[in-house]
Amino acid sequence: MPQPSDSAERQLNFGYGANLDASVYSRCPDAIDMGNAILPDHRWLATAAGVATVVPQPGSLVHGVLLSLSARDQDSLDRFEALDLGFYRRERHELITAAGGRVRGWVYFANQPEPGQPIPHYLTAVVEAARQRGLPADYIAELEAWGRLNTGSVASPRPHWEEIFGARP
């Protein structure tokens, strides 16, 4: 696993949605890709806002990327995840590295995790990023299944996301 040169000033973050995509490096130019990782005992879900979150579920795994971020990058990611507006919060959790090691890192959680239909282009970007990172095929199939789900909702609200971040969060 790569080692960040200034590890005392850097923080580990787990990306599983928009932050799985290479576009994270435009938001976080100092980011160091530490490889694929797993968040144990959680599952991925699309929220009613149409974007990803993770929720506790014993025995389930969320696959993603482990990033080492500078303080500047962490601030940028917090803004992107709209922490100040209350859309997401971040919590430290144990993560499993690709080498099988265990580390603690920040994970973003939606404050309103009600399931919904994902924004189509958002899900497409997440699935493509998962493929590019070589995540397991069965996990990618789980992500793709979200695009075929009908939550029973007539309209999935997408509060402020497209206004804040443009068409692609």
Residue 153 banded pLDDT, cuts 50, 70, 90? very low
| Percentage of residues of the chain with pLDDT beyond 90 | 73
Residue 159 banded pLDDT, cuts 50, 70, 90? very low
Choose the catalytic residue: 9, 81, 94, 128.
Answer: 81
Chain mean pLDDT for the chain: 86
Q: In the chain, which ranges are continuous DSSP H helix?
A: 24-27, 71-80, 120-132, 137-145, 161-165
pLDDT, tens digit (0-9, with 9 covering 90-100), for 37-83: 999 999 999 999 999 999 999 999 999 999 999 999 999 999 999 99
Structure confidence at residue 5 (pLDDT): 46
Name the pTM for this structure: 0.82
The half-sphere exposure of 58 on its side-chain side, counting CA atoms within 13 A, is: 0
Domain boundaries, the chain: 11-147
Residue 8 banded pLDDT, cuts 50, 70, 90? low
Higher pLDDT residue, 6 or 75?
A: 75
Q: Which residues sit in the known binding site for substrate?
A: 122
pLDDT at 84 over 70: yes
Residue 146 banded pLDDT, cuts 50, 70, 90? confident
Two tokens, residue 134: 């070589």
Average pLDDT, stretch 100-112? 97
The answer to whether 125 and 18 have CB atoms below 8 angstroms apart is yes
Domain 11-147 has CATH 3.10.490.10: yes
Two tokens, residue 71: 């303080």
The answer to whether 144 is a known catalytic residue is no
The half-sphere exposure of 77 on its side-chain side, counting CA atoms within 13 A, is: 30
